[in-house]
């Protein structure tokens, strides 16, 4: 809901999305962990989850549960998921089970096709972002979607958008329901890494299945 033109603009339709900030200390712990894993070929292979995910990217690997707990990552997900759901439907969750959480290391020309997630709720945030994601060949494009996340729901119509594009910024994290379709566009002209983190989780079945009733 936003206030403008001496009135109120309502958005009563479509899924709720939450945007929060990952604390700096957790970002550092996550990035240190990633560097440790990628320097250990055996561990990288053990945690590799790429074959089970949709992306065409350089590397994807799961976070170990002990690390998720010790780093504060699990607590971050629990706390902010609860706040998001309560603010959206005025219900307090009592159950929260992380199915998995994983790192995506994306480089030039890599991409993630349109897909959905498992569980009940999901999310994605950013740990590293290239300084420049590259320009379009056609310079007159209003929005550069290189390396952006696109959240997709329904179809475009009068006063109704069907996509929400997110330009990745380090520390920003977005929560959304598992069924929300999304994709990540490739970027160009840089050898830098775009590093993101995602998760899937389940909550109280009676809350998820009630559809806000």
HEC string of 46-78?
HHECHHHCCCECCEEEECCHHHHHHCCHHHHHH
Average pLDDT over residues 187-203: 96
Structure-block tokens of residue 21? 């900030």
90 CB contacts (<8 Å, ≥6 apart)?
none
Residue 191 lies in a domain: yes
Residue 210 lies in a domain: no
Place of tokens 């994605």: 124
Q: Which domain holds residue 97?
A: 14-133+143-205
Q: What per-residue confidence (pLDDT) applies to 82?
A: 96
In tens, the pLDDT along 129-175 reads 999 999 888 877 778 899 999 999 999 999 888 999 999 999 999 99
pTM of the model: 0.92
For residue 159, give the 3-state DSSP assignment.
coil
Residue 4 lies in a domain: no
Residue 138 lies in a domain: no
Residue 196: closest CA among 122, 133, 106, 115:
106
Q: Domain containing 176 — which CATH number?
A: 2.60.120.620
Average pLDDT over residues 200-208: 97
Residue 201 lies in a domain: yes
Compute the mean pLDDT over every residue in the chain, rounded to the nearest whole number. Answer: 92
In b/e form, how buried is each residue of 79-115, taking b as 16+ CB within 10 angstroms? ebbbebbeeeeeeebeebebebbbbbbbbbebebeee
Residue 164 lies in a domain: yes
**What's the number of domains the chain is made of?**
1
Q: What per-residue confidence (pLDDT) applies to 2?
A: 44
Using pLDDT thresholds of 50, 70 and 90, give the confidence band for residue 6.
Answer: low
Residue 6 lies in a domain: no
Using pLDDT thresholds of 50, 70 and 90, give the confidence band for residue 5.
Answer: very low
In tens, the pLDDT along 10-61 reads 666 789 999 999 999 999 999 999 999 999 999 999 999 999 999 999 999 9
- Residues counted in the chain: 213
């Amino acid at each position: 809901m936003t206030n403008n033109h001496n009135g109120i603009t309502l958005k009563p339709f479509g899924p709720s999305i939450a945007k929060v900030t990952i604390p700096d200390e957790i970002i550092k712990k996550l990035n240190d962990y990633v560097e440790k894993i990628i320097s250990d070929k055996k561990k990288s292979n053990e945690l590799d989850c790429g074959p089970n995910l949709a992306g065409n990217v350089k590397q994807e690997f799961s976070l170990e549960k002990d690390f998720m707990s010790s780093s504060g990552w699990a607590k971050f997900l629990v706390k902010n998921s609860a706040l998001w759901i309560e603010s959206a439907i005025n219900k307090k969750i009592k159950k929260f089970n992380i199915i998995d959480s994983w790192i995506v290391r994306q480089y030039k020309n890599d991409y993630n096709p349109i897909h959905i997630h498992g569980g009940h709720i999901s999310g994605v945030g950013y740990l590293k972002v290239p300084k420049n994601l590259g320009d379009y060949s056609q310079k007159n494009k209003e929005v550069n979607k290189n390396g952006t996340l696109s959240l997709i729901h329904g179809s475009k119509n009068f006063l109704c958008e069907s996509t929400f594009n997110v330009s990745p910024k380090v520390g920003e994290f977005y929560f959304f329901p598992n069924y929300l379709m999304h994709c990540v566009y490739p970027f160009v002209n840089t050898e830098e890494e775009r590093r993101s983190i995602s998760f899937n989780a389940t909550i109280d079945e009676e809350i998820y299945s009630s559809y806000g009733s």
